[in-house]
């Protein structure tokens, strides 16, 4: 076994040995990178409508769960245009930090905003997946954070870019997931008062049946 193979095996074993520490409303923050009109036009792994839906749903659910949210764009007034309107509307009052750096974390204002959240688990989404989401996620790992990338609230321009981006993130220790799973992991308990708002944000209003069934069962039990 050569040195590189041994190191890879050791890293895998160490990663598997770490106990599961779930995302919570107290330890997580959301970072949304470059969901801009110009970049959206090049996305090929999701339709524009589906990607918009997913990003807005993530933002609304994060708000319902009272998570800190950092939003940034790059070259907004020159190359890539503004954040798409539906996301701006979903995040009233949140300042969008425009920068010139490729890696969002290289901008001191973005880095300071992330650090100011005081959270060590970062849920990141961006366009493109392999750059705008991956670079800050990999940087976060190097700085001692835990990074989660919501792949279906991100998008990219070819299958090759998507596959390469996912592989590179996983090699760096980034956790990849879908946006809804990350949000319901934070919700944790369907009895929480935020549950209906979270499921509605995720465009899952039928999930409120959980609460309705629970209430009905409770009444039946009381009557018995």
Active site residue ranges: 132
Residue 214: which residues within 8 A CB-CB, separation 6 or more? 190, 191
Q: What is the DSSP string of 178-190?
A: -HHHHHHHHH--T
Beta-bridge mates of residue 123: 30, 148
* Phi-psi sector, 95: left (phi>0), alpha (psi -120 to 50), beta: beta
Please answer whether residues 86 and 52 qualify as being in contact, where contact means their C-beta atoms are separated by less than 8 angstroms. yes
């Amino acid at each position: 076994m050569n040195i590189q193979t041994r190191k890879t095996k050791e890293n895998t074993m160490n990663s598997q040995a770490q106990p599961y520490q779930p995302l919570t409303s107290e330890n997580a923050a959301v970072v949304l990178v470059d969901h801009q009109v110009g970049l959206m036009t090049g996305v090929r792994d999701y339709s524009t409508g589906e990607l918009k839906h997913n990003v807005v749903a993530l933002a609304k659910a994060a708000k319902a769960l009272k998570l800190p949210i950092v939003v940034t764009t790059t070259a907004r007034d020159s190359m890539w245009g503004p954040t798409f309107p539906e996301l701006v509307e979903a995040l009233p009052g949140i300042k969008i930090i425009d920068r010139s750096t490729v890696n969002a974390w290289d901008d001191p204002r973005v880095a300071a905003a992330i650090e100011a959240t005081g959270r060590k688990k970062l849920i990141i989404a961006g366009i493109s997946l392999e750059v705008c989401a991956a670079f800050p996620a990999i940087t976060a790992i190097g700085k001692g954070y835990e990074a989660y990338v919501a792949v279906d609230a991100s998008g990219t321009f070819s299958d090759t870019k998507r596959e390469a981006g996912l592989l590179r993130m996983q090699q760096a220790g980034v956790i990849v997931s879908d946006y809804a799973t990350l949000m319901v992991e934070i919700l944790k308990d369907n009895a929480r008062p935020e549950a209906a708002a979270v499921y509605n944000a995720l465009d899952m209003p039928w999930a409120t049946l959980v609460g309705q069934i629970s209430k009905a069962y409770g009444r039946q039990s009381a009557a018995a």
